[in-house]
Structure 1
Amino acid sequence: MSRRSRRSRQLLAMTWRDAFFASWPVDPSVVEPTLPDGLAADTDEEGQAWLSVVGFVMEDIRPRFVPFGLSFPELNLRTYVRHRDDSGIYFYNLDADDRIGVPIARRLFRLPYYRAEMDVTERDGTISFESHRTHEGVSPADFEATIEPRATPEPADPESTEAFLVENYRFLVAGDGRLYCGEIDHGPWAVQPADLTIEENTLFEAAGFDQPAGDPLVQYSPGVEVTAGRLRRAERSL
């Protein structure tokens, strides 16, 4: 589907600011049992699946052409999937510090949004990101880390692992025995390598995973302007 076609369907506009992507390679067999029927783990050129912790600040989430909206931090754990011949993102959680936006997102997009107390601060070029899940009835999860960007942000090589991890314009969710697809649109991420110091991270445990081995591939972006469309049946939208 072309970017122009995606844009014509967009209902919401927003800015994603101070985004970091911390991604661990895992064997596809780690991811496959956690996916709903109809989805398969997407892999890079080396046959690796990935689990990514992604945090950013969502600013001015609003209907298109409305000048202001909601703003709050978000932290998600995701993997990368395929449905038929198309790729997308599958979320295990999306923690957010907003009592209004969370129930709306859960209802409209069927996404696993959870309430959390979060704090994102920047000092001397270092971003501190803290999250404590407070949502009732789900596993608790905590995350605390600092991100120190290096080099200069620029678009990733389209054929690179970096692009595989950040240039995604579709997410897939399951509900009522069906698959649904949501689409977003934005320009290419301008990303740069970053140093990540993790003080605490229980997101993997909360989602039923062991902590992946090794250090993650870490990317940071100052941000991007985003539009998002309505949720659709996957069979009709792919």
Structure 2
Amino acid sequence: MIVAPSRESRREVCRRPAQFQVMHQNWNHLLFLHWEMDPDLLRSTLPEGLHLDTFEGKAYLGVVPFFMNNIRPRFCPTVPGISDFLEMNLRTYVHDDHGKPGVWFYCLEANQALAVGVARRLFHLPYQHAVMQARVDKEGWVHYKSRRAWTGVSSEYLYRPAEPAKVSEEGTLEYFLAERYVLFSEIAGKIYSGRVYHTPYLLSRAEVARQDARLFMLNGFHPPERPADLAHYSRGVKVDVYPLTRN
């Protein structure tokens, strides 16, 4: 029997796990772009054992570029040149047979080759190496560019917060999209999950002057011919990462 996520199961994954952490990292200057998508299309892309998580019957595909900083294994210091890099992912929202909600990643681009290799090996996630650049100007605009290695396909974003940030209210669409603390991966046909823990995002609507959805094309989706339906910004969170476990 497949169980849909309950309000309590969504609360449960927000709590700090009882496991030991394997890694610490900071996620900064996040842009959350979301497009409403055909639920049946997204369902057709999921592995057995995962089910599309919807909000009021609607499904979403998200592009999330951000900065990763101060990355280090537990009990280890940061390492210059390795502990800071950029990441951008394409994702949708799912749950397992028992109603545990989380994220399914179609791809994750990063500009640190060692990090790409480690993440593939430890978390079995579809990381891809990319040439990426990002900076924040004096007016608060985040200039973000990514070009997938070997393809020449590039993406560019220009964004900043458009209002004061606040914690999303439980039960809202913003909460449904942003407050995700479980990642799922597939290993030899079996579903595994990994937890992260951080304080709730302080979110604001994002002012987006430049965006694209070329990441859709690289993952077999037809790029939408409209801007994102939803755009949010977060200054960032400090994150504890936990090991994968078999579902």
- Letter of the structure 2 residue corresponding to residue 165 of structure 1: L
**2:206 equivalent to 1:201:** no
Change over 3 Å in CA distance of 1:194–1:2 after alignment to 2: closer
State the alpha-carbon separation in 2 of the partners of residues 13 and 180 from structure 1: 20
1:68 deviates by: 1.7
Call closer, same or farther: CA 1:2–1:176 in 2, change over 3 Å.
closer
1:149 aligns with 161
Larger strand proportion, structure 1 or 2?
1
User: Is the 1:142–1:200 contact (alpha carbons within 8 Å) kept by the matching residues of 2?
Assistant: no
Paired residue type of 1:222 = R
Q: CA deviation at 1:2?
A: 6.0
Percent identity between matched residues is: 35
How far does residue 165 in structure 1 lie from its aligned partner after superposition?
0.7
Which residue does the alignment assign to 1:64? 74
For normalisation by structure 2, the TM-score amounts to 0.88
> Tell me, which stretches of 5 or more residues in structure 2 are unaligned?
1-11
Partner of 1:53: 63
Aligned match for 1:29, one of 40, 43, 59: 40
1:127 correspondence with 2:142? yes
Partner-residue secondary structure (3-state), 2:84: strand
Residue 10 of structure 1 aligns to a residue in which SS? coil
The 1-side partners of 2:73 and 2:177 are apart by: 27
Secondary structure of the 1:36 match is: coil
> Quick one: structure 1 residues 20 and 7, their matched pair in 2 at CA, closer, same or farther if it must change by over 3 Å?
farther
**TM-score, with structure 1 as normaliser:** 0.91
Measured in 2, the distance between the counterparts of 1:3 and 1:52 equals 20
1:180 is aligned with what amino acid? Answer: Y
- Alpha-carbon spacing, 1:73–1:2, altered in 2? closer, same or farther (3 Å): closer
2:3 corresponds to = none
Q: Is the 8 A contact 2:14 2:179 kept in 1?
A: no
Find the counterpart in structure 2 of residue 170 from structure 1.
Answer: 182
Task: Please say if residues 26 and 212 of structure 1, whose CA atoms lie closer than 8 Å, have aligned partners that are also in contact.
Answer: no
Deviates more, 1:195-204 or 1:70-79: 195-204
- C-alpha separation between the residues in 2 aligned to 1:153 and 1:13? 24
Shift of 1:141: 3.8
Q: Give unmatched runs, 5+ long, in structure 1.
A: none
| 4+ aligned runs moved over 6 Å, structure 1 | none
Aligned residues: 230
Deviation at 1:5, TM superposition (A): 5.0
Residues 7 and 227, structure 1, Cα contact 8 Å, conserved in 2: no
SS at match of 1:9: coil
Question: Pairwise CA RMSD of aligned residues?
Answer: 1.6
Three-state SS of the structure 1 residue aligned to 2:42 is: helix
Letter of the structure 2 residue corresponding to residue 36 of structure 1: P
Query: Partner of 1:38 in structure 2?
Result: 49
Query: In 1, distance between residues paired with 2:238 and 2:92?
Result: 22
Change (3 A) 1:222 1:44: same
Distance in 1, matches of 2:147 and 2:173, equals 30
| TM-fit CA distance, 1:100 | 1.1
Tell me how far 1:140 sits from its aligned partner.
5.7
Counterpart residue type for residue 215 of structure 2: L
Give the conservation status (yes or no) of the 8 Å contact 2:21–2:241: yes
Q: Residue 227 of structure 2 aligns with which residue? A: 215
